[in-house]
Amino acid sequence: MADQQNAQAGDAGPPKGIPAFKAHVAANKIDVAMWAIRLLTVTLVLGYIFPFFINAESAFYKALLANAAISALRLHQRIPAREIALSREFLTRLFLEDSAHYLFYSLVFMNATPNLLILLPVFLFAFLHSASYSLTILDTLGQNSIPIARLLIALVEFKSRDILIYAAFAELLLFPAVVVMAFFGYCGLLTPFVYYYFVSWRYTSRRNPYTRNTCRELRVLAERVAAWPRTPAVASRGILAAVGLVCRMAPPMEVQQYLHISPYTRNTCRELRVLAERVAAWPRTPAVASRGILAAVGLVCRMAPPMEIQQ
């Protein structure tokens, strides 16, 4: 009899369904609020694109307000109210947070003419993070609840890296677009200068390297186009001049930001270097290929960040 009672108690397990969802909401009010606002943001952006049930201009500004609310809640989680201070150190810490970047982003474009490109990074981040937390909600309701939704969320998470790259590209593409918008009166004349600070913060972000990586990839692509034999000399010089201008505008990166490298990555680099040097020293390797390999190894070594002795 006692064994049957114990078996029934074991089968009961943790509560699921609506009671579990209510308990989860009570224990995670801010997270659930951000999840709901992100879903609202996605709906508002879709309403801006397909203005069948809401005015497009109203949907644009409401989406920015919703994004500002999400960023403020996330910033509250990262920096509690007791740590707020009117000091330079606090402001430096504040603008290291990605949520502060997008709170600033929303405020910058509140007086701009509605533009889909402005909403694109907002939509992508809201879509990705709402899908991720929706899986937590489904787990709260039950392990087998709504399998179709779980499949769609799995597809979104599988493409999460691509979504973050698209968001970073939209942030960068918006910079020249803002300059054109300011020139034609679609936003304030100071908006390009203010947006430059946003791009600088995104470039130096510690938690999101995708903007920085996208800048590097675009630079490599531009230099390849400039070096292409069919590219006219005038266009090539213009591309290289533009690349040089952007590189001078890029904020300086501290060395320690490059030192957070996995030991596995460092070890793999060393092994590849040893392998390349062995191939270059192989008797059957042509002299031209050997010199090319050693030159490539030397170039990579010069590009490698300096490592401290204690590491």
Residues 233 and 125 in one domain: no
For residue 310, tell me if it sits in a domain: no
Task: Name the band, by pLDDT with cuts 50, 70 and 90, for residue 164.
Answer: very high
pLDDT at 207: 83
For residue 5, tell me if it sits in a domain: no
Task: Name the band, by pLDDT with cuts 50, 70 and 90, for residue 306.
Answer: low
Q: Domain ends where: 208, 237, 272?
A: 208
Angstrom distance (rounded) from CA 146 to CA 153: 11
Task: Name the band, by pLDDT with cuts 50, 70 and 90, for residue 259.
Answer: very low
CA distances from 197 to 101, 102, 202, 203, 250 (A): 9, 12, 9, 10, 10
Residues 147 and 101 in one domain: yes
Q: Look up tokens 């801006």; give the residue.
A: 48
For residue 309, tell me if it sits in a domain: no
pLDDT at 256 over 50: no
Q: What does pLDDT average to over the chain?
A: 83
Residues 128 and 231 in one domain: no
Question: Which residue range is the domain that position 275 belongs to?
Answer: 256-303
Is residue 112 within 8 A of residue 118, CB to CB? The reply is yes
pLDDT at 271 over 80: no
Out of 9-18, 67-76, 150-159, 228-237, which region has the weakest mean confidence (pLDDT)?
Answer: 9-18
Residues 204 and 220 in one domain: no
pLDDT at 90: 78
Exposed/middle/buried for 58, CB within 10 Å: 0-12, 13-18, 19+? Answer: middle
Out of 97-101, 114-118, 166-170, 247-251, which region has the weakest mean confidence (pLDDT)?
Answer: 247-251
For residue 311, tell me if it sits in a domain: no
Report the number of distinct structural domains present in the chain.
3
Dump pLDDT digits (tens) for 198-243: 999 898 888 888 888 888 888 888 888 888 888 888 988 888 888 8
pLDDT at 258: 43
pLDDT at 233: 85
Long-range contacts of 299-302 (CB under 8 A, 24+ apart): 300/269, 300/273, 301/273
Residues 119 and 234 in one domain: no
Q: Look up tokens 């997008």; give the residue.
A: 102
For residue 290, tell me if it sits in a domain: yes
- Give the chain's length: 311
Exposed/middle/buried for 303, CB within 10 Å: 0-12, 13-18, 19+? Answer: exposed
For residue 3, tell me if it sits in a domain: no
Residues 39 and 138 in one domain: yes
Residues 138 and 269 in one domain: no
Is residue 44 within 8 A of residue 70, CB to CB? The reply is no
Residues 176 and 132 in one domain: yes
- Please report, in angstroms and rounded to a whole number, the separation of the first and last CA atoms in the chain: 62
Q: Domain ends where: 208, 239, 268?
A: 208
Name the percent of the chain lying above pLDDT 90: 33
For residue 228, tell me if it sits in a domain: yes
Residues 227 and 190 in one domain: no
For residue 79, tell me if it sits in a domain: yes
Residues 236 and 272 in one domain: no
Q: Domain ends where: 208, 243, 272?
A: 208
User: What 3-state class would DSSP assign to 64?
Assistant: helix
Dump pLDDT digits (tens) for 79-116: 877 777 777 887 888 888 888 899 999 999 999 999 99
Residues 53 and 121 in one domain: yes
Residues 194 and 120 in one domain: yes
Dump pLDDT digits (tens) for 35-55: 999 999 999 999 999 988 889
pLDDT at 308: 41
Dump pLDDT digits (tens) for 280-295: 777 788 877 877 787 7
Burial 197-212 (b: 16+ CB within 10 A, else e): ebbbbbbbbeeeebbb
